[in-house]
Amino acid sequence: MIPGIAGLFVVAVATAGLLAAITVWAPRRLWIKIASVGVAAIFLPLIYTAFADLLSKPKPVDLEWGYRNIPEATVLAASLREGVGIYLWLQFEGVDEPRAYVMPWDRKVAQALQDAQRRAKENNAGLRMRRPFELSLDQLDRLFYPAPQPMLPPKPTPGDGPLNYERPGSNA
């Protein structure tokens, strides 16, 4: 299967081609058949341009369906535009590339985000988000939170391995 924008474009081309073929083979007047092929030809660059333009825009959280049940995400960056939206750059565990999203503007959510960002900076930690696509105002204080500090590696104990190392070049 062809991934991403190329796959979507192949489906759009096939659909436009099928619709044009149906019109060409239908018992219609010649000018209708020619217009159908012309419209399909105009449709292809328009749909490619629309797909390419969408790649640079954040996706509204309401439209996310592929990752809707993700329990947590790492917030890599956030930008607030009062009255417009809350823009988030999220990284999901097990997904290679981060995703850009926009949440509708809400003063309480924006305040919760800023508070969590401040706590994360104070703790020298990253910022996490619970249930990024199930926004309920009941748990705003727990929607965004500083990531817990990672555990330090265990210290070696005397029985774990050799403690005395030979110096390079010694003949011991």
Looking at CATH, the fold of the domain delimited by 60-146 is given as OB fold (Dihydrolipoamide Acetyltransferase, E2P) (2.40.50)
pLDDT at 1: 44
Q: What percent of the chain has pLDDT over 90?
A: 27
On average, the pLDDT of the chain sits at 82
What mean pLDDT comes out for the span 122-134? Answer: 88
Residue of higher predicted confidence among 10 and 153: 10
55 φ/ψ angles, rounded to the nearest 5 degrees = -60, -25
Pairing of strands 127-130, 99-104: unpaired
- Rounded Cα gap, residues 85 and 139, in angstroms: 19
Q: Helix and strand tally (H, E) in the chain?
A: 3, 6
Selection from 84, 74, 60, 151 nearest residue 120 by Cα:
74
pLDDT at 17: 86
Selection from 66, 71, 58 nearest residue 142 by Cα:
71
Q: How confident is the model over 45-102, as pLDDT tens digits?
A: 888 888 777 777 898 888 888 888 889 999 999 999 999 999 999 999 998 889 999 9
Q: Residues 15, 17, 22, 24: what is their CA dihedral angle, to the nearest 10 degrees?
A: 160
pLDDT at 77: 94
